């Protein structure tokens, strides 16, 4: 690089002039300028000033294998040379998509043997709805079309996925939504449990599903969709009573259960899929992110045999994208999933790095004066900031407090995300003990700085 050019200013200026970032106040951002990320290696990023940053979020919950894995680069290169693109619309297939499908069938519970592909988590959830509606139509029950989702869920940013999601800020900006979607409450005990104990609150939340099904009429409800734990909504772990009751209700009323595993899938909790951690059995699973460790975009939908068989017998299903099962993405996914399995990475998250991460976080923060709860398992955690942890009193400035803490964290060169007043961590699954120590120490420093800033302001 030419030393006389200020590359940071150069890219910041181009970016401010021409690029609209997702979920960002661009007026404010353009005045300060974006941090320019130029390189990644393992769990570390480097910015254009040469500063090393530890990535406590695995990008956006996706870089499960960490940055710079040569095997993924080689898989992509080989596939680029061999066959960079072909489709599977008109009686053709290709080796990467066939291999990926067989591999997913091995990794998922035995009743999942058929997969649809797309390019993102949002498209996976759109696709799941298309498949569920098709299923009920070929069953002769096309009136089963309502889908029930939850407040403060995140299922993506397309019209369908954003309607399914329960983010108020997104709904407020949508002038038109998907029809036949209803929402129930989220199982967020710390914030909404009141005087109930977590067990009873979990049952109460699940029973909102039953009430909604009865209100709409079971013969009109196609499916319930939920993230096993809410990711973007704050790493909200439901009480243990929640998912078994949801499953009972779905079965009893003949409502399909869709697990959105876009964040939870591919090892995050120490199980291959987060629903296995919570012990329930979905009928449909949506996936993205970690399927390729984020190296190339890909999404997928797993259908249980009962659903897939019915759709297959039902004739043509008019759905698909130019890039469904893209060979490059599929080749990277196959290599990525083989590495996660053959290097024992998911097993290590379950038995070693996951428990170590959870223990260190609790040792450092469980008794912190502004920490009310630490939720999580494996390599994902949500740290609840609270004005009074003992009474579960939250700060009045829920949004601002998280942003403050996140900014301290980023200044300290740790990527930690805020969701209102919860601080979220989800590092690459290859993180070592020493790197976990660094993440926890930097998270603690950011939370200390937040506590001090509030004390000064009081
Ligand atoms: N489902 C879940 C559970 C997700 O977390 C999507 C679907 C949509 O995936 P795509 O690939 O369409 O973005 C997501 C995405 C954040 C953040 O800040 C989270 C997501 C995306 C962007 C930012 O936590 N999750």
Taking only the tens place, the pLDDT of each residue in 299-312 is 999 999 999 999 99
User: Measured between alpha carbons, how far is 34 from 20 in angstroms, rounded to an integer?
Assistant: 11
State the closest ligand 1 atom to the C-alpha of 119, by its place in the atom list counted from 1.
11
State the closest ligand 1 atom to the C-alpha of 158, by its place in the atom list counted from 1.
12
Position 164 scores a pLDDT of 98
Position 458 scores a pLDDT of 80
Q: Nearest-CA neighbor of 246 among 275, 227, 224, 263? A: 224
CB of 121 within 6 A of ligand 1: the answer is yes
Distance in Å, CA 232 to ligand 1 centroid: 7
Position 457 scores a pLDDT of 86
CB of 337 within 6 A of ligand 1: the answer is no
Low-confidence residues of the chain: pLDDT under 70 = 1-3
State the closest ligand 1 atom to the C-alpha of 122, by its place in the atom list counted from 1.
12
Q: How far is CA 15 from the centre of its chain?
A: 27
Position 430 scores a pLDDT of 98
Walk me through the domains of the chain, giving residue ranges and CATH numbers. Answer: 35-68+344-457 (3.90.1150.10), 70-342 (3.40.640.10)
Distance in Å, CA 21 to ligand 1 centroid: 15
Ligand 1 mutation pick, 55, 61, 274, 427, max ligand atoms within 8 A of CB: 61
Could you tell me the CA-to-CA distances from 211 to 14, 126, 205, 233, 250 in Å, in that order? 52, 25, 10, 23, 12
């Amino acid at each position: 690089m030419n030393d006389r050019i200020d590359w940071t200013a150069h890219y910041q200026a181009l970016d401010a002039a021409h690029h609209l970032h997702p979920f960002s106040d661009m007026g404010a951002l353009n005045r300060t300028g974006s941090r320019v990320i130029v390189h990644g290696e393992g769990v570390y990023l480097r910015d254009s000033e040469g500063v090393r940053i530890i990535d406590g979020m695995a990008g956006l919950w996706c870089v499960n294998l960490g940055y710079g894995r040569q095997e993924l680069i080689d898989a992509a290169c080989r596939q680029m040379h061999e066959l960079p693109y072909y489709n599977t619309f008109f009686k053709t297939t290709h080796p990467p998509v066939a291999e990926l499908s067989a591999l997913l069938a091995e990794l998922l519970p035995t009743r999942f043997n058929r997969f649809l592909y797309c390019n993102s988590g949002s498209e996976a959830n759109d696709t799941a709805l298309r498949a569920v509606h098709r299923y009920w139509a070929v069953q002769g029950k096309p009136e089963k079309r309502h889908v029930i989702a939850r407040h403060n869920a995140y299922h993506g940013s397309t019209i369908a996925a954003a309607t399914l999601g329960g983010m108020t800020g997104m709904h407020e900006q949508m002038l038109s939504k998907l029809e036949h979607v209803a929402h129930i409450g989220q199982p967020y005990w710390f914030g909404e449990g009141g005087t109930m104990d977590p067990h009873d609150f979990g049952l109460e939340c699940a029973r909102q599903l039953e009430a909604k099904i009865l209100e709409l009429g079971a013969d009109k409800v196609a499916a319930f969709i939920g993230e096993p734990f809410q990711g973007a909504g704050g790493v909200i772990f439901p009480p243990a009573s929640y998912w078994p009751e949801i499953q009972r209700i779905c079965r009893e009323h003949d409502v399909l259960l869709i697990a959105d595993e876009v964040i939870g899938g591919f090892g995050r909790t120490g199980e291959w899929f987060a629903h296995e951690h919570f012990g329930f059995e979905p009928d449909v699973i949506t996936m993205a992110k970690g399927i390729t460790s984020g190296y190339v975009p890909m999404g997928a939908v797993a259908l249980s045999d009962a659903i897939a068989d019915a759709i297959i017998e039902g004739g043509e299903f008019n759905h698909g994208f130019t890039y469904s099962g893209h060979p490059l993405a599929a080749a990277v996914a196959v290599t990525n999933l083989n590495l996660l399995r053959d290097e024992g990475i998911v097993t290590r998250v379950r038995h070693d790095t996951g428990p170590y991460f959870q223990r260190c976080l609790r040792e450092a923060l469980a008794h912190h004066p502004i920490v009310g709860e630490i939720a999580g398992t494996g390599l994902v955690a949500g740290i609840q900031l609270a004005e009074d942890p003992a009474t579960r009193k939250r700060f009045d400035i829920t949004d601002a407090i998280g942003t403050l803490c996140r900014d301290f964290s980023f200044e300290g060169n740790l990527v930690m995300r805020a969701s209102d007043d919860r601080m979220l961590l989800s590092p690459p699954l290859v993180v070592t003990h020493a790197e976990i120590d660094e993440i926890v120490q930097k998270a603690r420093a950011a939370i200390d700085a937040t506590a001090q800033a509030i004390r000064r302001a009081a």
